[in-house]
């Protein structure tokens, strides 16, 4: 890893209006917060936005001519977009996170994440009802609908659910009144149009993410600020977001596909339709890796660890990440069923390698940098 020019960071931070009280050590932590937002998160959001623009183009072509080819092209564009998004999922700090005051919330949170990808809240029946009612053409109207019918997860269902059956109960009017059957001939075209509306809306949502990130970046430029009394609190906020790799990726996503969770059946899995669960998890870990190491020469957590002399921990965390990524690649990123068909325990090592990362993260990493676990109650301590 290229060693970051800490001296320049200090000089530049002071030159950019850092207060006289800010000293070198705090300047580095402050720079880490800034670089996470301005470089790592912004770059990743930019990549996802580019992928979404590709998805929008493909979905519009699909809507105009719903053929197997245009559908396939849209599916591929969706894969690109979701791969870029899953990187962000693992570091959804700042405006992407939940608002302060709710469970898992953080200062500056605006809940923008759910508008892009609401899994596991996705509601297939609601998507079917919108499809069959043909009320999905208006982007503004769809923007008012629940998040679980208009994100990348909804798009996955629309693009990859092959059988043109619905997910509603028999008693639902869609089935009970025969609406679905009556509209069956139109469903493919409607799904294609619905996918184009969602793709357009997602690009718009990403404009909102861009704007919010810009504003967030300005706010957190120096500490104390509206959100954080110190750079350490800013770091805590980022590490809270990184806990996604523990409480969602490991405990839910990975445990379910590895068959070690109680609810390990296929129903609860992510990516039920596109069957790219393993790729999603891999991308999540890449997001964690980006936040940990920083991007494009920016200060990451690894630099903070090295700055305090914990180089060995940096090495071991990167080794754990590399080991996991190699294990993920060894599966060929195939559908879970294919991997498990070869070996029923084929994803146990995958899960254990992921746990190796989260264990280091939750124990040594938090200790050395004196970071708090998320949803900690700011009660007294002694």
Partner 1 sequence: MGKDSRLSTIQQSLLQWLAEPVDSAGLHVFRFAFGVVAVIGAARFLTYDWVERLFARPVFHFRYLGFDWLPIPDADQIRVLFVVLLVLGLLIAFGLLLRITMAIYFLVFSYIELIDVTTYLNHYYLVSMLSLWMFFLPIGRGGPKRVGRWCYVVLQLQVTCVYTYAAIAKATPDWLLHGQPMEIWLASRTSVPFVGQAIRLFGLSTLAMIASWLGFLHDLAVAPFLAWKKSRAIAYVVLLGFHLGTHLLFNIGMFPIIMSVAATVFFDPAWPRRWQARWRAWRGTAVDGDAANGTARPARSLLPGRAVGAFLIALGAFQVFWPLRGFAYGGNILWHERGMRFSWRVMCREKNGSVEYRVLRPGTERAIRISPGRYLTGYQEREMATRPDMILQLAHQIGRDYAEGDAMPEVYVDAVASLNGRRAAPLIDPDVDLMTIRDEIIGDGSWILDAPAGAPADLR
Q: According to CB under 8 A, which one of 126, 230, 315, 323 is a site residue for partner 1?
A: 230
Under the criterion CB under 8 A, does residue 367 sit at the interface with partner 1?
Answer: yes
Q: Does 222 bind partner 1 (CB under 8 A)?
A: no
Separation in Å, CA 296 to CA 8, 176, 253, 300:
16, 56, 29, 10
Q: Choose among 367, 349, 287, 313: nearest CA to 84.
A: 287
Taking CB under 8 A as the rule, does residue 220 contact partner 1? no
Q: Is 325 helix (H, G, I), strand (E, B) or coil?
A: helix
Among 81, 98, 310, 347, binds partner 1 (CB under 8 A): 310
Stretch that binds partner 1, among 107-115, 134-142, 147-155, 223-231 (CB under 8 A): 223-231
Binds partner 1 (CB under 8 A): choice among 93, 231, 257, 281 = 231
Tokens of 25: 């050590």
Find the part of the chain contacting partner 1 (CB under 8 A) among 15-23, 32-40, 77-85, 118-126. 15-23
Tokens of 372: 């708090």
Stretch that binds partner 1, among 41-49, 149-157, 171-179, 307-315 (CB under 8 A): 307-315
What count of other Cβ atoms lies within 10 Å of the Cβ of residue 19? Answer: 11
Nearer to partner 1, 165 or 343 (CB): 343
370 binds partner 1 per the rule CB under 8 A: yes
CB of 254 to partner 1, least distance (A): 10
> What CA dihedral angle connects 281, 287, 288 and 292, to 10 degrees?
160
The angle at the Cα of 374, spanning 369 to 380, to the nearest 5 degrees, equals: 80
What spatial distance separates the first Cα and last Cα of the chain, rounded to whole Å?
Answer: 38
- Radius of gyration for the alpha carbons in the chain, expressed in angstroms and rounded: 22
The nearest distance, CB 324 to partner 1, in angstroms, is 15
Q: Rule CB under 8 A: say whether 214 interacts with partner 1.
A: no
Least distance from partner 1 to the Cβ atom of residue 101, Å: 9
The answer to whether 314 and 302 are in contact (CB under 8 A) is yes
CB of 188 to partner 1, least distance (A): 41
According to the binding rule CB under 8 A, does residue 366 interact with partner 1? yes
Q: How far apart are CA 15 and CA 27, in angstroms?
A: 12
Q: Among 10, 192, 255, 291, which residue interacts with partner 1 (rule: CB under 8 A)? A: 255
Binders of partner 1 among residues 67 to 126 (CB under 8 A) are 103-104
- Decide whether 330 or 344 has the Cβ nearer to partner 1: 344
Q: Which is nearer to partner 1, 144 or 380 (CB)?
A: 380
Burial of residue 332 (CB within 10 Å: 0-12, 13-18, 19+) is exposed
Full DSSP string of 234-252: HHHHHHHHHTHIIIIIIII
Residues that bind partner 1 (CB under 8 A): 21-26, 29, 103-104, 223-224, 229-232, 246-247, 250-251, 255, 259-262, 264, 307-310, 351, 355, 358-364, 366-382
């Amino acid at each position: 890893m290229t060693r970051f020019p800490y001296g320049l960071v200090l000089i530049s931070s002071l030159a950019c209006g850092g207060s006289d009280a800010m000293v070198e050590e705090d300047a580095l932590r402050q720079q880490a917060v800034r670089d996470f937002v301005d470089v790592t998160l912004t770059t990743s959001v930019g990549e996802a936005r580019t992928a979404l623009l590709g998805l929008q183009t493909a979905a519009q072509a699909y809507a105009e001519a719903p053929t197997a080819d245009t559908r396939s092209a849209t599916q591929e564009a969706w894969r690109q977009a979701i791969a870029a998004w899953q990187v962000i999922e693992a570091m959804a700090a700042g405006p992407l996170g939940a608002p302060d005051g709710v469970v898992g919330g953080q200062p500056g949170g605006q809940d923008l994440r759910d508008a892009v990808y609401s899994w596991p809240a996705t509601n297939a029946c609601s998507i079917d009802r919108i499809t069959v009612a043909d009320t999905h053409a208006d982007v503004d109207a769809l923007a008012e609908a629940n998040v679980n019918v208009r994100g990348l997860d909804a798009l996955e269902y629309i693009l990859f659910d092959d059988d043109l059956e619905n997910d509603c109960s028999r008693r639902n009017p869609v089935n009970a009144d025969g609406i679905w059957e009556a509209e069956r001939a139109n469903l493919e075209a409607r799904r294609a149009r619905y996918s184009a509306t969602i793709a357009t809306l997602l690009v718009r949502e990403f404009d909102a993410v861009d704007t919010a990130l810009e504003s967030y970046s300005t706010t957190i430029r120096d500490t104390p600020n509206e959100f954080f009394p110190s750079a350490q609190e800013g770091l805590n906020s980022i590490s809270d977001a990184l806990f996604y790799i523990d409480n969602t990726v490991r405990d839910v996503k990975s445990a379910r596909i590895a068959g070690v969770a109680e609810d390990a059946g296929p129903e609860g899995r992510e990516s039920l339709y596109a069957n790219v669960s393993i790729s999603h998890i891999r991308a999540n870990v890449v997001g964690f890796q980006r936040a940990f190491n920083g991007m494009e020469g920016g200060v990451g957590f690894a630099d903070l660890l090295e700055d305090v002399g914990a180089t060995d921990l940096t090495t071991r965390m990167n080794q754990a990440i590399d080991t996991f990524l190699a294990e993920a690649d060894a599966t060929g990123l195939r559908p879970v069923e294919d991997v498990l068909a070869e070996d029923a325990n084929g994803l146990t090592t995958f899960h254990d390698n992921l746990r190796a990362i989260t264990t280091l993260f939750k124990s040594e990493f938090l200790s050395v940098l004196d970071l708090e676990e998320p949803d900690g109650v700011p009660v007294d301590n002694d």
